[in-house]
Structure 1
Amino acid sequence: MTQEVNLSEWTKVDSAFDFALSLPEGDQTGWIDRHFAGEPELRMRTRLLLERAMAADRLFEDLGRRRDTVFANLLPDTRTGDKDAADVRIGRHYGPWKVIRRIGAGGLAEVYEVERDDGRYDQKAALKIMRASLLGADALDLFKRERRVLASLDHPGLIRIIDGGETATGAPWLVMEHVDGVPINVWCEGLANSASLELMAQAADALQAAHARLILHGDIKPDHVVVVAESGSIKLLDFGIAQLLDDNGTGAAALAVTPAIASPEQRAGIPMTTASDIYQLGLILQQILASGTAEPRHAAVVRMALGSGTSAQYASAAELAADLRNLAAERPVMALPDSRMESAVRVIRNNRMAATLALTAVLGLIGWGVSASIYAGEIERQRNAAVAATDRAERGRAMLLNLFRRADPLELDAAGPQPAGTLKMLDSALEDARLNLSQDPELVADLIGWTARAHHRADDLPGAQALAADSAAMILRRSGSQSSNYVSALAFQGYLQTLGDDAAGGRNTVERAMSLLGGIAVPDRHVLDALLALAWSHEGDWERQRVLFTRAMVLAQQLGQISAQVEAGAGLGRSLTGLGEHDAAQIQLDQALALAMAKYGSGHPRLALVFSDLGRLAKDRGQPELAIRHHRKALELSIEAFGPGYSRNISHRNNLATALAETDRIGEAVAQFRLLLGQTSEKSGPNSLEAGEVLQNLGAAQVQAGQFAAAESALGRADAIFAAHLPDGHPRRAFPSLTRAEMRIAQSRFAEAQADAVRALSILTVAFPQGHFATEVARCRVGIALIGQGRPALARPFVQTASRTLAASTTPVLPRYIEPCRRAALGL
């Protein structure tokens, strides 16, 4: 039975744990066993602390490698071949800067050589442009912060910003001085120690200049500390994850880290201080001095920079710079104080506030007893760091999951990889995760779910359905049916089913998710995702969709989820439009648009959804010109973000072409429908149902344009495709005949027009509710065809009934459908 450990015994455990951490990894457990040979309880507790710390480090580093693997797979391979040949940014302009060639890429951004191209003066520089595909809003904030940070710095050892802006899709960019430098560890190979130490001192000077402006770098490694070949001076680069410190010198926990150089603060997931930067600079110093003379003072400076073992850490980068120059000049160094004071110095220098006081005054006031108390508090912090392994693991999991989530094609920069390529790389990364992260099935299930979403965005519905079902099943086994995560996964699975051939099965899945959702006591982000998926699953059931989107909007506001508020607002506007509540729909869509523009900017592709729904609303309100503007904007945003061949452009182009066809801009409508037919045929096949629907709309536009021969061909092909795909009596089977009747009337071929109109009327009367405008248009055309044949008595009931019903319709009906019928009725 385990005995309770008292305070004095904990002190022994803490001291042993602290000392064990300073030993080489292979010697730690042996030393603990020998030290507590007669105290098995304390030996067990100390070894447990050590094992948890080591396990946390291993997991953190493993997740870091997984993250790096995913980055490598998701980013285009530019290491071989002609990397500039296929790069669409080469030759583009960003402000007055023209892109010349690609220099390199990292996890968050890509870097290009640019030159000034506005004729004012000649200058070459470096363009850094954000990769919006991977880390989304957090990374965008980081990148914009880097611009602000660089703009506030003025030191010869720090990179200088020249210009900045954003692309049409909201991806930020900055132009900075172009530095042709060599990583400091490479430059120092074979260099005398004194010269290497002076360069490291310059790096510490540059770091101190940043710290003086309350700026923490957070990612100092050899590639970011370079020596300029021409001058032999230091430049500190890449403030990509920099932080602004508060007045006490404290920042936030690290959002992103490089595992190999992660400081203790970054590994523990606690708020960072300048100690993190000094630690990382110490790692570079350790590497540079590793091959040099093993001089004790050198080792002491390295230990003090790292704050390792029983060494204090430098309170500032300026102190480190001073000791480095003292080393180079063979003068005494701060890193080797009087041994009697060593422990107190370590405590004081690890306390950022105490470090501002005079060392002699502090020692005179606090005494050795207080020093020992602070030392015990430091050991408590280290023990808490080991116990916090779970939190560090969660942060690592979140980093990896975030990469998959931000690989959603909607987040891609305009020049990023196209969805098909993204899918291939995502699938490869997912397989790696399945093999190597099997001990964390919940994480794997989430990665599968986000990969399913990426497949759905790219219109790979079968692939998305299979992945969504796999994710839901895995979460069910892991968390049970009452978890919000499972309900979210199940709702998304059902939504995808409703889009495919298993609509009935999809409805059953959706209803099961609806039932389980009622048992979730605490709404969270998973519940929000479930509500949105369930709402989209009820497209056409406007009232139920309105209720679900309303619940989603309320929860999104409570959780502060802006993107979900935009989606729920657009969905609410759509459902209210379907219910005929146009004023309420306008309010929702205007609010969604304002929110999206504030969050993403005016050129982001996420706005396309809102503009598309605004176009539908304008059409229903009888505002065709406004509908055209909205649909054109949605299409332009999509093309700008993803290129002209992106499959999601099809729905936007169809909406635009239809809106154009409802005005007198028939030529434009025909041109858009022709483009749409080419896209649809390439995507779904020339004889697909989708191609048939475009042919029907193209034929209708050609009839309006008087292009009867072309319309005859288009309507004939649509008729054949509908017959092959749709059952007898389906309402779509009526529309080629209905449109052909209009054309025959215009050609004065009234008997043929009557036959076509009668066929359409017989289908629509059964398929649609009484008074539907399409049914009444067919009825009217039967009457007009009879009038054309000189049979007004037979025509009268058809024309008069249709004219009255169309005039009384509560749904806006275009004048081109009403006016022919009204004129025919007046002529009888």
Structure 2
Amino acid sequence: MKPLPCSSADWPRFSVLLDQCLEVAPEEREAWFRRLSPSDAHLEPVLRSVLAKSESLSSGHWLEHPATGDAAAASYFGPGMDVGPWRLLRPVGRGGMGEVWLAERMDGRYARQVALKLPHPHLLGGLLKDRFHRERDILARLEHPQIARFYDAGITDADQPWLALEYVEGAPITEHCRAQALDARGCVALMRDVATAIQAAHTQMVVHRDLKPANVLVTSDGAVKLLDFGIAKLLDDPAQEAGLTQLGHRAATPDYAAPEQLAGGTVSAATDVYAMGVMLHELLTGSRPFEAKSRLGWMLDDRREAPLASGKVTGKRRAEIKVDLDSILAKALESDPGKRYASADAFSDDLGRYLGHQPIRARRIGGWQRAAKFTRRHRQGVVMAALVLAVLMAGVAGVLWQAQRAAEEARRATAIKEFLIEVFATLDPRIATDGPRGGISAIAMLDASASRIQVRFADDPDVQIELLRIVADLYRQLGDEAGYEKYQALQLEQVRLRYGPLHANVLDGAVESAFRACSGADRDRCVAAVDDAGRLLDRVDEPDPELRAIWLLARGLMLQRDEARLQEAGQAYADAVALYAQHHPQSRGHVTAMIQLAGFHNVVQLDYPRAIETYRKAEALAQSLPDRNDAELQTLHGNLGLVYQQMGQFSAAAAEFRKSAALADRTTGPDVPSAWVPRANAARTLHLAGQREAAHREFERLLPLLPDGDDDTVIEAITARTHYGERLSSEGRPRLAIPVLELVERGYARNSEFGFQLRLVRRYLGEAYARAGRHADAGRLLQLSLEDYVAHQADGDQPVMAIRESWGRWLLHDQRPGEAGSQFENIVANASGRPLAHVALAHGGLARAALARDDVPAALQHSQEALAVWGEVVGFRDVRMQPYLQRIRADALAAAGQLAEAQLLENTAAEASARYDHPSSVSVIRRQMATLDPTAQATGTR
């Protein structure tokens, strides 16, 4: 047992008194000591000694500097001592609260050196013990490359708690910047890394509360590591706050503490933003914005307005700081937390804009604001200087300049407002028109006004640019892509003429154009747009990392169209995700990039586990963002459902589709188109799994929400009907499916941009015709679909394999086994070893073709191969296909004279069919069909 500061008999009472004493404000402790009872008087010297040794805790220098004198001499630990499974090597730091030692694992489980954090034994009672345990719990939640990693925690047999943390060899950030002689941009880049780590902690609802240079180390390779979350505040655990607030705010380092922290007020994420502002001010100027002149200086200093950093330096450094960095620091150091940056991410974003030579979001501090700040902090000096005529005249000039600038901005705002009012004036019934007011669409209103922008504001290019941008955005919101393209191009042309080809608007437009081009079908346009945007970004010294990331996503879309460059495409997506993770980790763009990468894993690489893992990471990030986007989460769950469906995990797929539909129901309502597709996907997935009754219940809820069948303008309704018709056909009700699929086919045929969907629904409709006995119609439509697929996609693509298999089955029915075999052989030849459902069905088709020409050995071989491939299928499948393949195998066995085995397999197929194909309620289907066509009758049978 380590020595206690008092006798073991006195320890319980001493611990209680120490807790009470720590709760008392320092200036009231003498009165508290005088009130001690006679029975406790003998503990007063011990209490005073312990308080003196822990003085560095209240002064905020815990682990900032090694302890000296009595504190150092009173160490309870020494080199070679064992603490739990660790052996102490050498001290790293000491303070009033405890010690940190370099230690190594000595129980042989694994080799590692750590920073072992140990509190002084006499401080292990009450609130301080709670703080120590709380630090352990906080660190266990934080996993980030720029936060010192938490390894382990425990308590020795002698009741000595310990925390094993990552040992970081590095220098405090201030020392690193001085040693490397970093310029302002280098300091800002390091502070962005700090902000990234802080934002990661904030997403876990953890505020550091003691940010200072000693807790921010920079390693020899320039990596930032954030240390010591020991006094962090758990925002999601208000129950702890009552007992820990007083201790917490005393333990913060006053020189870096926010005003609300020093006043004992509410601590939030803005508190850490303030501390980062103080540190950045110190990195840029070599001094803190508020320098305490005595030990109580921080209590007496007026922190309502931080001085401008540029006023503390001269020469080149002053020029680097002036305006942008002054403005950023002023916002970060606002005394009112509500006026600071809303998050560490927002602070980092403005620093990134400074580095990228882009307009910052903080209100710029102009000459008048600078003068006002100076006046508030140096009232007497300004009054004296006001007697000097030159200063007075300069002030008048500043006022006139500011007034002129304000008038100019007001004029532009008025011009823009008046124009937008004119847009809606077309609805004014007092103005004559050729048609009824109620028939004027929003696009028609824009068309009537937008064409006048260039003429009306020909002499005011800035207003013209702003209005063209607004109008382009309005067209895009209204779904008029042609209008958007037109006015976006006009806006960018004006920006180039006025500001040059590297203006932020031009760069944004080029990257967006590349992404949009590569999301479409025109490959040549995609390549040209990506190349153009890449050349522009390469001409900028330090392009915005987010713009570069979006460009990489567009490049990935371009590259994945070329099978020879799929590896490059995957790398482009991964690089985009990495850029977001480094520069904008808590952003919606980061979520989008991960969705793109997951889609690549799913669709191109067929790596479903990796796709799911990436989608899950994107989902977790999307859930954690303060401005959570439920539409994006809806897409995420829908995509996850498609992956699970591809894997044949139908229950998991249906669950994800239901989550997607529930999000749509909650945010926009069930009768909004965005909710229809995930609900239709859920129904289709249940049907694919053989749960027909459950599937039709989902369809029964969905179909009444869809618009009339003749309305082919709502693509979501057409998609939902496609799923319904295809499933009716697959379950043996083709006469019910045909009118639904014919309606869908007409809708897609009238919309040229849906070529892929048209090819697909023609395959579905051809299969329905075949099942209904309309053999000629089936052949016509299946052949049309096949020709369309072959013209647009490669033989190895799954959709091409699917249509070839359907066409091959039609050819078999048409007594053309030779031609059918050619289709099936094409599928097998292009399988490339992939165990896909269509490959298994192709082997089944080859077995049927062999039986048709009495080639029993070939039939046995291919039927066996069909079941073998089916047993390993990855990707899309319909469970009803397994009994189909089992029957083909049974026919081959029967042809070979193996009758007993054939009958056994036939029975197995029949049992599977009975399990999957129990009849759906005709009354339910009748109601479903009535929602699509009131004259429809559910007369179809299996």
Q: Please give the range of the TM-score, normalised by the shorter of the 2 chains.
A: 0.3 to 0.5
TM-score using structure 2 length? 0.43
The structure number with the bigger radius of gyration is 2
Q: Which has the higher contact order (CA 8 A, sep 6+)?
A: 1
